[in-house]
Amino acid sequence: MVAHDPLRALEQTQERKKTIQALIDQGEQWAGKLGDQDYGVKSRGRKLSDSGAKARFYHAVCEAHLSKIIQVDLKSDLFAYDMNEQAWALAERMDGKLLLVTNTQDLSPSEVVSRYKSLADIERGFRVLKSELEIGPVYHRLPERIRAHAMICFLALILHRVIRLRLRAANSPLSPERALEVVRRIQKHRIKLNDVAPVSGLSSITEEQAKIYQALKIQKPSAREQNLLL
């Protein structure tokens, strides 16, 4: 089955055309400079060689994932490239389309697409476990400690997902990492001077921090006294 998004297809087509045109402009500029050098015309900047232009242009094309459309002639001694119009047309035909193959017959096409897109959440979870939560490497030796480490990371992943879903439901532009970074600035202080009774209080809660607590449906931290100067 094939899922098609016309708006996404238009965006991908326009982005590709813009990138290809920028690469062609750069290639023509280098080709012109190389031609001028052959005729003894001096230009600003360092002298350009065919091999250097060819390597830099090929690297830029590969970085843009357009090597099938803009084909650099690596075997030629001169800087040269060609446009594969057939590959370009094929890429545009595939814009906005998602091809899925499944052996599950009891799901509707929309359900198959929904199940496939849910894989992105699973992959995101693995990335969070590896980066933000640092599930590995594990330095424990006893099996029960290893299981406890994995359980803590799993619970943290659930909390991370809940935070992300609640922020999204509240139309917040913040990611869970950014939201935690903002609220982490809230500090509780306990001050004692000489023989005076100690005073405790919270640093001022900003509007952005208050909105995060509201989005997460969590009560803001409070204290009997708030240190407004902190």
Mode of pairing for the β-strands spanning 97-99 and 2-4: antiparallel
pLDDT (tens, 9 = 90+) of the chain, 230 residues, equals 888 899 999 999 999 999 999 999 999 999 999 988 888 887 777 788 999 999 999 999 999 999 999 999 999 999 999 999 999 999 999 999 988 888 888 888 888 888 887 877 778 778 887 777 777 777 888 999 989 988 888 888 888 889 999 999 999 999 898 999 999 998 888 888 888 888 888 888 899 999 999 999 998 887 655 444 44
Name the residue range of residue 186's domain: 182-216
Q: How far apart are CA 92 and CA 94, in angstroms?
A: 5
| One domain for residues 14 and 84 | yes
| One domain for residues 132 and 210 | no
Of the residues 93, 123, 141, the one at which a domain ends: 93
| One domain for residues 142 and 193 | no
E strands, the chain, in order: 2-4, 70-72, 81-83, 97-99, 188-191, 199-202
Inside any domain, residue 228: no
Inside any domain, residue 20: yes
Inside any domain, residue 229: no
Of the residues 93, 114, 143, the one at which a domain ends: 93
Inside any domain, residue 123: yes
Inside any domain, residue 222: no
Kindly report whether the global pTM for this prediction surpasses the value 0.75. Answer: no
| One domain for residues 160 and 201 | no
Q: How far is CA 42 from CA 4, 30, 34, 36, 53, in A?
A: 52, 14, 10, 7, 17
The DSSP line for 47-66 is PP-HHHHHHHHHHHHHHTT-
Inside any domain, residue 225: no
| One domain for residues 81 and 7 | yes
Number of domains comprising the chain: 3
Amino acid symbol at 122: I
Cα 155 to chain center, whole Å?
24
| One domain for residues 119 and 186 | no
